[in-house]
A and B are shown apart, each in its own frame.
Chain A
């Protein structure tokens, strides 16, 4: 199998006359926890939507697991779609189904397993992301934001995907829940060998769990590589982000914790 899970080459995206991406190159390798950072409106979510084949209005090539998604036929696309699990920013659980039903849907659609077996697998995934057993019968509207995100994560994980894509997984969570979430993702990455792609604004996520990262801005990739290398790059926005008030506070805190 190829080492490059996702390869983006010369990606250019335009919305009308505004250029969102101008010849972007990204490479995501197997086993990475890859975070995509960037200003609001720098086209982070657009990249995700393009990888997910929800937005095909771009030029350049995007290869997922070696398949060029623009040239792929339907069965190849289907294979690619089953190889990833996605969690959207708003969790996007089906509001009229219970959490258990939400998690089971991919199994019900793709296999002929017995109800009992599907329940067992779904309950295991629920426990894996750290949710209580009692959540299984509840409806999304009865859960807190953090629990909803975890439930969405367990739905994304149900088919044991090779790639896990998360759009702002920790936004709107309190710091403890966010750290909890980060740990869950790191564990999954280590235990199951998942490749994780995270779009985030959260510096904690960036510093704590990312193994590789890229920063988007001004229609191109400002930096790509190891998180520690990125911090030291000479770019105004990057400096502002890491050495601005919030960034400095964060680094100061890190020093306190790990002397």
Chain B
């Protein structure tokens, strides 16, 4: 393909000087001083090859007379030379501390924007409620089917398993005390107060907020959101309100499903490993469960629903005009949604403790 010899500081190249072959020259000529270059017997030279030779000339400070070319090559060299006056590339590198600073500011900035987004969502909810004609029932129902109904099976299964795990772990200790029947209290209260709502919120954070982000993000990249805006349609009504509304409706129902299946799991373990009959279990459940437990669980539903939906939508709107940022934003929407749900749950716990519920 390519051959070269160096005689008395004269580089003679024959064969093809193309992007495929100049790498050989680049490595072999790295430390050899050259004063003249002879190319006129080369069969073929492409522009990459010309760029390489010109760089070589620059490196050893050779002028045009020290390079032997044939007429064809001369033409190509003239073309390339015209375009070779560009400034050097500066590779910027920032220090570690600088990056920490920049990223912290960006995060705080994003949080501030998120707060104003939640404000917009809230105002939009009231606008819609005050003017029910604006509510798009069809898309709400559609969203309930996709985000609520289709999540029932996975939520039921996970809750059932968690109920089994709690009852099983508790049963070992409770057996030692002979307090077998209290497994009912353990499972029902922990499920209804904490785990049910949290499980639903976390699963929806993974299922729904990611899909909201991807949907809105791609709509932004393909300028569909701009189309909606220019048509004079309030885009919050189309893109955000149905999602928030559908989660507001589905989350409480999903929490009840989760509670039921969690307790069902506990019931199974109670029957199998603690010899508590279903009748006894239900009788005890009646005493253990106060209404306040149920309500302190279900009251979290609207908060979780709004958090998951608005983070999903917010991250979608924050997508930049490139494909990579869709991926990044979907990831961060799931992570942020789960994180915020857990933070909100912690705040609820503290509030309930203070008010003695």
Task: Spell out A's residues near B (CB within 8 Å).
Answer: 94-96, 100, 107, 110-114, 117, 119-121, 123-125, 127-128, 133, 136-137, 139-141, 159-160, 191-192
Contacts and interface: CB of A to CB of B under 8 A. Distances in A.
A96 B323 contact: yes
A160 B50 CA distance: 11
Contacts of B142: none
Contacts of A137: 89
Nearest to A157: B47
- In the complex, which of the residues A120, A125, A128, A133 has the most CB atoms of chain B within 10 Å of its own CB atom? A120
Given A113-B26, A191-B75, A124 B51 contact: yes
A141 B326 CA distance: 14
Given A107-B19, A128-B47, A139-B322, 5 more contacts: A100-B89, A107-B48, A114-B26, A120-B55, A121-B48
Contact of A117 (B20, B55, B75, B322): B55
- In the complex, which of the residues B19, B51, B83, B323 has the most CB atoms of chain A within 10 Å of its own CB atom? B19
B23 interface: yes
17 contacts: A95-B322, A95-B324, A100-B89, A112-B23, A113-B19, A113-B22, A113-B23, A117-B52, A120-B51, A121-B52, A125-B47, A127-B86, A128-B83, A133-B86, A191-B75, A192-B47, A192-B76
Interface of B: 18-20, 22-23, 26, 46-48, 51-52, 55, 75-76, 79-80, 83-84, 86-87, 89, 221, 320-325
A124 B76 CA distance: 13
Please provide the 6 A-B residue pairs with the shortest distance between their CB atoms, ordered closest to farther.
Answer: A96-B324, A95-B322, A141-B321, A127-B83, A160-B46, A133-B86
B13 to A, nearest CB: 16
B47 A124 contact: yes
Nearest to A82: B20
A82 to B, nearest CB: 9
Contact of A133 (B80, B87, B323): B87
Contacts of B26: 113-114, 117
A160 B19 CA distance: 8
A183 to B, nearest CB: 14
A113 B94 CA distance: 26
Given A95-B323, A133-B86, A141-B320, A111 B23 contact: yes
A91 B119 CA distance: 39
A140 B320 CA distance: 12
Given A107-B19, A113-B23, A139-B322, A191 B79 contact: yes
B223 to A, nearest CB: 11
Contacts of A121: 19, 47-48, 51-52
Contacts of A113: 19, 22-23, 26
Contacts of A159: 19, 48
B39 to A, nearest CB: 16
Contacts of B18: 160
Contact of A119 (B19, B48, B89, B324): B89
Given A113-B23, A117-B55, A141-B322, A136 B89 contact: yes
A111 B20 contact: yes
Contact residues of B: prevailing secondary structure: helix
Nearest to A130: B83
Contacts, number: 73
Contacts of A192: 47, 76, 79
- In the complex, which of the residues A96, A119, A124 has the most CB atoms of chain B within 10 Å of its own CB atom? A124
Contacts of B221: 95
B93 to A, nearest CB: 14
Contacts of A94: 323
Contacts of A111: 19-20, 22-23
Nearest to A127: B83
Contacts of B83: 124, 127-128
B35 to A, nearest CB: 22
Contacts of A117: 22, 26, 51-52, 55
Contacts of B86: 123, 127, 133
Contacts of B46: 160
A114 B55 CA distance: 13
Contacts of A100: 89
A124 B80 contact: yes
B60 to A, nearest CB: 16
A96 B322 contact: yes
A112 B325 CA distance: 30
B150 to A, nearest CB: 31
B339 to A, nearest CB: 26
Nearest to B50: A124
A124 B84 CA distance: 6
A23 B221 CA distance: 40
Nearest to A93: B322
Nearest to A132: B86
A252 B324 CA distance: 49
Nearest to B325: A96
Contacts of B87: 133
A110 B20 contact: yes
A6 B266 CA distance: 73
A83 to B, nearest CB: 12
Contacts of A141: 320-322
Nearest to B21: A111
Contacts of B322: 95-96, 139-141
Nearest to A159: B19
Contacts of A125: 47
A140 B86 CA distance: 21
A76 to B, nearest CB: 17
Contacts of B75: 191
A112 B22 CA distance: 9
